[in-house]
Structure 1
Amino acid sequence: MKIDRLLEMVYVLFEKKNVTAKELSNYFEVSQRTIYRDLETLSAAGIPIYTSKGKGGGIRLLDSYVMKKSMVTDKDQLEIISSLQGMNALNVPGVEPVLKKLGVLFQRNESKWIDVDFSHWGSGEDEKEKFMKLKSAIIYKKRIQFDYYSTNGEYSERIMEPLQLIFKGQAWYVYGFCMVRNAYRMFRVTRINKLNVTDESFERCLEEENRFFVAEIKEPITMVLQIDPFMAFRVYDEFEHSEIVKNDDGSFTVTKTLPENDWVYGYILSFGASAQVLEPKNLRDSIRKILENSLKKYI
């Protein structure tokens, strides 16, 4: 506890520049006598602390003092700060306090270079708690238990050794080794319920091949879509320019290679009557079958 307090005290002195013993006493909830003993310990360790009396006086670090960081170059510092800013932009809980402290210790006040809004993770405390549990389980290598609903709505109970959180195709997934199926699997986080981090540890590590999509998708297919002119905003937002051909009538022919799965079907159907599949025939047949089954519900 004392070591933690000493480190925190150095951070406070870096941030506040000038602070009184009473303020430190209130901050750490210890007596002023304890504060002075801690200051003596820090001074003995070579940290240049000095005190001044009178108006505006207090406890300070020498202005020229910078914590020894020879093991971390200026480039390393920038990479650490920018990486943490990226994590903070993703609303990863617990990052902002670390970012603030390192910014003070490195004496850097870099501009915020990234801002990302994945709205689902910011939607509520329950989702943040789920994210924290998954993060903790991966870092500390603890097995997790949860209820899961597949794309077909099938319910199952799973035990998993989580290895990685992945953001792909506008959704979060957790990848790892499923103890129930005895195989590597990837689960969409929004379909996970009653998540529990157990006390059971595991040694398994993430494979270099990173083949986390094998269980979720079929082989990639190259599809050709014809999309109506008034959907131009989506065409240019969602496809690369090299994939788009604008036709004489204003419509678009788009060629895209994607893994064939339920997400692809849903994506194509999201265009409604404004898009049709030209190729391949099996994908066109699959979309037609989905539409025919949907139509039966309204007849």
Structure 2
Amino acid sequence: MKIERLISMIMLLLQRELVSAAEMARMFEVSKRTIYRDVDTLSMANIPVYTLPGAKGGIGIMPTYKIDKKLLTVEDLSAIVASLDGLEQLLASPEIKKTVLKMKNMLGENDVLPANSISLDFSNWSMKQELNEKVEKLHLAIKKLQLVQLSYIDRDGKQTMRLIEPYHLLFRNRSWYVQGYSLERENFRTFKISRIVGMDVLDQVFESRNFTVKPFESMPSRPHFQLCEVDLLVDKVAREQIVERFDVASMKQVDEEQFSVVVNLPNHEVGYRFLLQLGTHVTICSRDSFYTGFQAYLRAIHEKYV
């Protein structure tokens, strides 16, 4: 839209001394004639833009206006670019790519923060092509307010068909989720995208409901699993995953190799699977219902392969 382009032009000119009309035309995907018309519009709105002819000329904004009315600092833009760079690695959206390019172009060649200030790197996080395509399709469906039909497997392995109004994509703990309104349940629900086995974006559009982004834990869902306090003894290898997942205020170093910690785990296969991935690097010290359930789970695995 024109108003968005005009605002972006102002932000760009506040950060750069001169920008050629050709560069702006490429950035905003319009003609040079449109750019010059936009310059006239800004001038009529009392924004002190000017043009300089020649090979080293371009479009600029008066320095006094930059000093008095600067909208974003170099630090602001650098922080935004760092965040968008991380998002671009997770979601291959053309709109995000364009936004990253625009923001980077607003930073001049000399406008850089001290080295190693902050960056986000998801390059080692590999997402299967099929999953990536689902995320991109849902992102587009959210923008266009299109209904989505899901074939979904819940955490207990039950497969159902769901018709949803998608509203929000959430990336949490290395997994993508879509939050939307389930027409069958007549309430908002959260769906883990890796559990979607089939998905159709319908041509039918919906009227947007009063949806606000909520913390993951507050989204309506099935009751949580029963949590148990589990005393663990972990070595230096397992300590890393415990620290990343839990509040470890209770962690204490026992000796040079081991740490004791109390964590809350679901007394369910979900909790048992988490401990299994730590292998011999963790020991359960509790002798309670969780311990008994974990033993039964291990026996079931053993019997499967005997």
In the alignment, the residues of structure 2 paired with residue 293 and residue 113 of structure 1 have an alpha-carbon distance, to the nearest angstrom, of 47
Unpaired runs of 5+ residues, structure 1, are: none
Structure-2 residue corresponding to 1:89: 86
How far has the Cα of 1:215 moved from its partner?
A: 1.5
For the 8 Å contact 1:67–1:105, the answer to whether it is kept is no
In the alignment, does 2:151 pair up with 1:150? Answer: no
Structure-2 residue corresponding to 1:201: 207
TM-score norm. by structure 2 comes to 0.69
Change (3 A) 1:226 1:87: same
Change (3 A) 1:132 1:270: same
Structure-2 residue corresponding to 1:298: 305
In the alignment, the residues of structure 2 paired with residue 247 and residue 264 of structure 1 have an alpha-carbon distance, to the nearest angstrom, of 24
Alignment of 1:1-299 (within 5 A): 17-18=17-18, 30=31, 37-53=37-53, 56-66=56-66, 82=79, 85-90=82-87, 91=89, 92=91, 93=93, 94-95=95-96, 97-99=98-100, 101=102, 113-117=118-122, 119-120=124-125, 123=127, 126-137=130-141, 142-198=146-202, 199-206=205-212, 211-212=218-219, 214-215=221-222, 217-227=224-234, 231-239=235-243, 242-247=249-254, 251-279=258-286, 281-299=288-306
How far has the Cα of 1:268 moved from its partner?
A: 0.9
Letter in 1 for 2:304: K
In the alignment, the residues of structure 1 paired with residue 256 and residue 60 of structure 2 have an alpha-carbon distance, to the nearest angstrom, of 73
In the alignment, the residues of structure 1 paired with residue 130 and residue 10 of structure 2 have an alpha-carbon distance, to the nearest angstrom, of 35
Q: Percent identity?
A: 23
For the 8 Å contact 1:20–1:57, the answer to whether it is kept is yes
Select the structure of larger CA radius of gyration.
1
How far has the Cα of 1:197 moved from its partner?
A: 4.0
Letter in 2 for 1:50: Y
In the alignment, the residues of structure 2 paired with residue 211 and residue 50 of structure 1 have an alpha-carbon distance, to the nearest angstrom, of 51
In the alignment, the residues of structure 1 paired with residue 77 and residue 58 of structure 2 have an alpha-carbon distance, to the nearest angstrom, of 33
In the alignment, the residues of structure 2 paired with residue 40 and residue 109 of structure 1 have an alpha-carbon distance, to the nearest angstrom, of 31
TM-score norm. by structure 1 comes to 0.71
Number of matched pairs:
291
CA RMSD of aligned residues (A): 4.3
How far has the Cα of 1:257 moved from its partner?
A: 1.6
For the 8 Å contact 2:248–2:261, the answer to whether it is kept is no
How far has the Cα of 1:143 moved from its partner?
A: 3.8
In the alignment, the residues of structure 2 paired with residue 163 and residue 87 of structure 1 have an alpha-carbon distance, to the nearest angstrom, of 20
In the alignment, the residues of structure 2 paired with residue 217 and residue 187 of structure 1 have an alpha-carbon distance, to the nearest angstrom, of 15
